[in-house]
Amino acid sequence: MVQTDTPSPHSFFSTRAYRLFWVSSLFSNIGTWMQQIAQPWVLLSLSSSAFWVGLDGFAMNAPSLLFTLWGGVIADRYDRKKIVLFFQGIQFLCVLTMVVFLIVGWLKVWIIVLISFLIGLTDSLSMPSFQSIIPSLVSAKEIHRAVSLNSTQFNLSRILGPAIAGILIVRFGVISCFSANAASYIPFFLSLYFIYPRNRKVIQQPPKQASPVTELSQFRVLLKKPSVLLPLLTTFCTNIFCAPLLTFCAVLVKSVFHGEAANFGNAMVAFGIGGLIGASSSFISLPLWIKRNRMASLLAVLLAVTVIGVSYNHSLVLLIGLLICAGALLTSSNISVNTFLQENASNAIRGRIASLYQLALSGGLSAGALITGFMVSKFGISAALAANGVLAFAIQSWILWRQFRNSGVNIGS
């Protein structure tokens, strides 16, 4: 292991490499959320249909169903830093293309959906490597703190991004958000390139004895373990049934509350505040008898109840409170699953474990966006959220019951 800065017991950012990685990721995610604010409004202005918003969300996350596991195999075989730089570079070009098309007036709904698919494809192939880099930047005992801090910066960006986007949209239009997102890639590229100059010694891949196809078949062995399968089911069900609350927040604000872009920005900020609370709460030490996988399922049950509450709510003020709760519960549940899996996986399979988690996360998001988009177009946003909440409550309650019956934490090596 390459020598790094001497960690302070009271320092959250114990190494220079992790500090650079954290700050640059924050800027990059702020840019991403700025575009996420603008993009649904562009789609609605071009098509006036909630279905296209759902299809765009599906296109963004659907590639994970086919390619995320391959991303995990790649992460365990090759230099993870180079993988992230390559695929994020393609993503940068996609965003830059949208900026140019907006300037010249060529942007169409189908172009947005196609570019979303390309961005989703690069994410599915690079995210397992991204997730696997984080434990390499800190000591083994700090992995939980590093994962939690990474989620904290993500949710901090969810607050700052919409707030900045709201100001820029009013003054300069939606193109400013897309442009800011393109610019936000630059510091991330620089930090990733310069962290750990001897990075090749940090990320040691196992000998390439088995073919990628053979390694891909090893996922079945991992999924036979309840300690792997049940937490992944928690994440998948949470994101297929409850995460659409965030995806269709623009539709909810417009159709139920007759709000404008500022109201949507406030709703996103509320969700981000909740996410920041959820990420911060993950630093709390749990008693030994409370396992993080069980805690994740319990939080998922409470999230389902919150989604049901949103579906029956008609108060804009109460909506803000419910979104704060939803953000906290969704984030904390996802962090608990991710931390549980990362802490109990060896470095040799960490890429594959990260890809399984990413598959459950993005696969749930993609299926949830498409299904909920169809339901919203047929029955309305309130009915769709109510159905999602009821289904989530039933399934997550069953998973929670199974989690308490399963006492193992062995993932494998």
Residue 338: partners with Cβ closer than 8 Å, 6 or more residues away: 131, 147, 151, 357
pTM of the model: 0.69
The mean of the pLDDT values for the chain is 79
Whether the CB-CB separation of 78 and 139 falls below 8 Å is answered with: no
pLDDT of residue 393: 96
Q: In Å, what is the CA distance from 274 to each residue of 20, 36, 158, 246, 303? A: 25, 18, 10, 12, 12
For 286: left if phi > 0, alpha if psi spans -120 to 50, otherwise beta; the answer is beta
| Alpha-helical segments (H) within 48-108 | 50-61, 63-77, 80-104
Please provide residue 5's backbone torsions phi and psi, each rounded to the nearest 5 degrees: -60, 145
Q: Is the pLDDT of residue 290 over 90?
A: no
SS3 for 390? helix
What pLDDT digit, counting tens, does each position of 200-238 carry? 444 444 444 555 556 666 677 777 787 888 889 999 999
| pLDDT (average), residues 45-55 | 76
pLDDT tens digit sequence for 334-370: 888 887 887 776 666 777 777 788 778 877 877 888 8
The share of the chain scoring above pLDDT 90, in percent, equals: 17
Predicted pLDDT of residue 1: 32
pLDDT above 70 covers what percent of the chain? 81
> How many CA atoms are closer than 13 Å to the CA of 213, on its beta-carbon side?
0
Q: Comparing C-alpha atoms, which of 34, 46, 304, 256 is closest to residue 158? A: 34
CA 339, CA 284: separation in Å to the nearest integer? 13
Asked if residue 147 has pLDDT above 80, the reply is no
Q: How far is 34 from 75, CA to CA, in rounded Å?
A: 29
pLDDT at 154 over 90: no
Contact by Cβ (8 Å): 410, 227: yes
Number of Cα atoms under 13 Å in the Cβ half of residue 214:
5
Question: What domains are defined for the chain?
Answer: 16-205+214-405 (1.20.1250.20)
